Structure 1
Amino acid sequence: MELQNELEVATFAGGCFWCTEAVFLELNGVKTVVSGYIGGDTINPTYAAICNGDTGHAEAIQITFDPSKISFGELLEIFFATHDPTTLNRQGNDVGTQYRSEIFYNNENQKDLAEAYIALMTRENTFGEPIVTVVSPATLFYEAEDYHQNYYNQNKLQGYCSYVITPKVEKLKKIFKDKIKN
């Protein structure tokens, strides 16, 4: 899906959306990051419904970005560097289908780039384990409840944030320092 002013949308599921949102909000060229749910059959899902794991939805983020400042390929690189794409339906202690690794493509170019990137990492055995990340067409994205939006930046001292998310953000800033907002 393309937006006016030549902005594009990328949709990623890589575990807890608090974690993925915090990472992508740091990037130059990223305009907005919205936490939400995608990929299931339940209409208007809630966090409570998602947590039981039977809605089919994944916790995901929808990124609106300026491709003249950061490419979809660069977003893919950061996506794979900041979560474990080799664990099925799990990221750390977060377990369930809602925490799966999935790229929801919004156009054929995104699909082709995602599939090529996974194929390259598979050939190079980047992670030493098979990549389980699925590439699927984007379906209706449901925005999560307000308290989930920008969660990390509003709750940095909360235990989960300081022990799980802060190390991810610090890793991002170290590895991708040239892509971080000033």
Structure 2
Amino acid sequence: MEKVTLAGGCFWCTGAVFKRLRGVISVIPGYSGGTKTSPTYEEVSNGMTVHAESIQITFDPKIINFEKLLEVFWKLHDPTTLNCQGTDIGTQYRSAFTAFYPAEAYHENYYSRNRESLYCRIVIDPKLQKLMKEFKKEVK
């Protein structure tokens, strides 16, 4: 198994996308960069630590390789927008590759537990639709 940490906007969105790929064993939401070890969601959301929301992906390279994970990553977020992804605005939504600190437990499987929320329907569902369209054979 191998691991990669990616920051590409809201970790609820990126987590929902990458959990659906064959070969992805686990996706843990957390924080990258910033000025504090083990920050809280409140601290990050309020811009107190300059962390980016990120996910740590554990994957089986025999099933899905690092290059394919990056291809999905680059196609499903916009790295050219500074400190935002769609309607999510703030330094915590920037693109980054850095150290990783796990988020609080309630962020794990957020999409699975909150599919009917307005945020999931407006922001996450379109990304999942794009994933299915562009990476159908890689989806579980």
**Residue aligning to 1:159:** 118
**Cα deviation 1:84-122 (Å, max 9, x = unaligned):** 1110111111111111011x2xxxxxxxxxxxxxxxxxx
SS at match of 1:70: coil
- After superposition, residues 74-85 of structure 1 pair within 5 angstroms as 74-85=68-79
C-alpha distance in 2 between matches for 1:54 and 1:41: 9
**Residue aligning to 2:128:** 169
Matched length: 140
**Cα deviation 1:19-73 (Å, max 9, x = unaligned):** 0000000000000000001111212200000011130211000000001111110
**Off by >2 Å, runs of 4+ in structure 1:** none
Matched residue type, 2:81: T
- In the alignment, structure 1 residue 59 sits paired with structure 2 residue 53: yes
C-alpha distance in 2 between matches for 1:158 and 1:147: 15
SS at match of 1:55: coil
Matched residue type, 2:11: F
Larger RCO of the pair (alpha carbons < 8 Å, separation 6+): 2
**Residue aligning to 1:116:** none
- In the alignment, structure 1 residue 11 sits paired with structure 2 residue 5: yes
C-alpha distance in 1 between matches for 2:78 and 2:32: 19
Percent of aligned pairs with the same residue? 59
Measured on the aligned residues, the alpha-carbon RMSD in Å equals: 0.9
Unaligned segments of structure 2, at least 5 residues: none
Larger radius of gyration: 1
Unaligned segments of structure 1, at least 5 residues: 1-6, 105-137
